[in-house]
């Protein structure tokens, strides 16, 4: 009998071409997403007079630097305009399919891939962006790569990698009212730390994970990298199949049914061994917000800012002091007493239609006390939201409704938080300066961001949604 294997092992083994004595394995890559920042890699091809090895497996998407306002007038910043033009030129030169600025399918790469059916179970997927782990929600092996690796994949459709260890993160039980995937992800990172999964491929499992929608699983795997993981994965199941049926680039008809049978076989075998196991109860997880400058600085909204004097060690105490100084907070301050200046709903973490619906359900018929920006994850999501009237809810609440792009997550094209201001954000990173020099970011779910917009401070969304969901 064969040795029981994990989901990760099955996908890795199916793509291993050859292994070297130094522990590196050459992996075949099924999908390679490139964005405007890939011009360095295309430049290396040009220097070598090389071609993209598999243009049919390479997909260009304009997302990181595109403006979310005034697109009809063109891109004002000449450097950004040149980068977007370079992507278009490189895609045309090499015969790569491009979801460009004016394509009705344009959007953030980690939203477009799944919604177009390019992301499928069992594939290897890479992109020059750390949050490529998002695609693991389908049972794919997906991870971010650097510029030199982007060039390597463009030229060879393969990549040398060292096999990570395996970790299983179980969440069992039923999530409480007002608690969702973002809260689960932040609670996990707070539990194990920002480097708690370093060197591991993480499989998310348990009844609470299986109960998540595909969009919820995408949020969870998106944040796997924030715990130090190489990738995050969820085993394919009927929820996965239901999402993929009818997607433009997914198999169709009999081919889909044959693929579905293989996809369902990717689940971890009984008695398969992991290098590390971590378990949480869903009942332990509440609506969660970050208070510091790392995603691990997260607590339930009902709690208070930590006191460095009570930290477990001197290193943690120093981090707390530094974070509080940057964030303008003081020890033991109630999280609900933290006032905010603006909100942002968007990014590859929380900008899908379910995220927008969750925020709109809180905002409907109410007025925000602070300004904010809502950027859908793709042009397709934007159209769907407008068909459902969600845009009107956001605008009537006083928030700005814009086009799709990475936007305020990376503080681009004027979509930034002014120095010293505080933002309740659905993004994935709260590092110093992430949303602009001197910006102070609090991460939370779309519903919690909506609640903060209404209150003008961090607040518990649960009382605001009673009778609404």
Q: Mean pLDDT throughout 297-321? A: 96
pLDDT at res. 468: 64
Query: pLDDT band for position 373 (50/70/90)?
Result: very high
Sign of CA dihedral 159, 165, 166, 169: negative
pLDDT at res. 73: 84
Q: Mean pLDDT throughout 432-455? A: 98
Query: pLDDT band for position 467 (50/70/90)?
Result: confident
With beta carbons less than 8 A apart as the criterion, state whether 373 and 414 touch. Answer: no
359 closest CA partner among 337, 391, 325, 402: 391
Q: Can you tell me whether residue 126 is helix, strand or coil?
A: strand
Spatial distance between the Cα atoms of 241 and 232, rounded to a whole number of angstroms: 19
> Is the model's pTM score more than 0.85?
yes
* 7-276 topology per CATH: Aconitase; domain 3 (3.30.499)
pLDDT tens digits, one per residue of 327-355? 999 999 999 999 999 999 999 999 999 99
Q: Mean pLDDT throughout 80-108? A: 96
The helix or strand, by DSSP H or E, that contains position 357, with its residue range, turns out to be: helix 353-363
Which residue spans of the chain are classified as CATH 3.30.499.10? 7-276, 288-465
pLDDT at 317 > cutoff 60:
yes
pLDDT at 270 > cutoff 90:
yes
Q: Mean pLDDT throughout 307-313? A: 94
CATH superfamily of 288-465: Aconitase, domain 3 (3.30.499.10)
pLDDT tens digits, one per residue of 3-59? 999 999 999 999 999 999 999 999 999 999 999 999 999 999 999 999 999 999 999
Spell out where 194-287 has E strands: 200-205, 231-233, 276-281
Q: Can you tell me whether residue 210 is helix, strand or coil?
A: helix
pLDDT at res. 221: 98
């Amino acid at each position: 009998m064969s040795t029981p294997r994990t989901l990760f092992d099955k996908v890795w083994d199916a793509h291993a071409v050859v292994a070297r004595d130094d522990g590196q394995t050459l992996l075949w890559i099924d999908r390679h997403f490139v964005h405007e920042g890939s011009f360095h890699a295309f430049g290396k091809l040009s220097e070598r007079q090389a071609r993209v090895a598999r243009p049919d497996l390479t997909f260009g998407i304009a997302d990181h630097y595109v403006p979310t306002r005034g697109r009809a007038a063109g891109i004002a910043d000449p450097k950004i305009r040149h980068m977007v033009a370079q992507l278009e030129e490189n895609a045309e030169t090499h015969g790569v399919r491009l979801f460009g600025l004016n394509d009705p399918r344009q959007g953030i790469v980690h939203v477009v891939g799944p919604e177009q059916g390019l992301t499928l179970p069992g594939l290897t997927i890479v992109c020059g962006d750390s949050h490529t782990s998002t695609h693991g929600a389908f049972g794919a092996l997906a991870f971010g790569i650097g510029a030199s690796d982007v060039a390597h994949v463009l030229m060879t459709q393969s990549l040398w990698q060292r096999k990570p260890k395996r970790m299983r993160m179980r969440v069992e039980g039923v999530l409480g009212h007002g608690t969702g995937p973002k809260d689960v992800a932040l609670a996990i990172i707070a539990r194990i730390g920002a480097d708690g999964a370093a060197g591991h491929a993480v499989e998310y499992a348990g009844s609470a994970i299986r109960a998540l929608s595909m969009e919820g699983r995408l949020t969870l795997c998106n944040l796997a990298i924030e715990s130090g993981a190489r990738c995050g994965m969820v085993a394919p199941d009927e929820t996965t199949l239901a999402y993929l049926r009818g997607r433009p680039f997914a198999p169709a008809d009999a081919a889909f049914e044959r693929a579905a049978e293989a996809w369902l076989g990717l689940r971890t075998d009984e008695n398969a061994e992991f290098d590390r196991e971590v378990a949480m109860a869903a009942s332990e997880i509440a609506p969660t917000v970050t208070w510091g400058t790392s995603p691990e600085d997260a607590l339930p909204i009902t709690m208070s800012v930590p006191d460095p004097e009570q930290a477990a060690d001197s290193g943690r105490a120093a981090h707390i002091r530094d974070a509080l100084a940057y964030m303008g907070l003081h020890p033991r301050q109630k999280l609900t007493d933290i006032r905010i200046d603006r909100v942002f709903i968007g990014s590859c973490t929380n900008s899908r239609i379910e995220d927008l619906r969750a925020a709109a359900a809180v905002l409907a018929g109410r007025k925000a006390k602070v300004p904010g920006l809502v950027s859908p994850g793709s042009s397709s999501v934007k159209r769907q939201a407008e068909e459902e009237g969600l845009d009107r809810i956001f605008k009537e609440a006083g928030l700005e409704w814009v086009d799709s792009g990475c936007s305020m997550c990376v503080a681009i094209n004027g979509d930034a938080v002014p120095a010293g201001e505080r933002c309740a954000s659905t993004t994935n990173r709260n590092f110093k300066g992430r949303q602009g020099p001197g910006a102070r970011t609090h991460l939370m779910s779309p519903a919690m961001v909506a609640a903060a917009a209404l209150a003008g401070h961090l607040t518990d969304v649960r009382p605001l949604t009673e009778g609404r969901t």
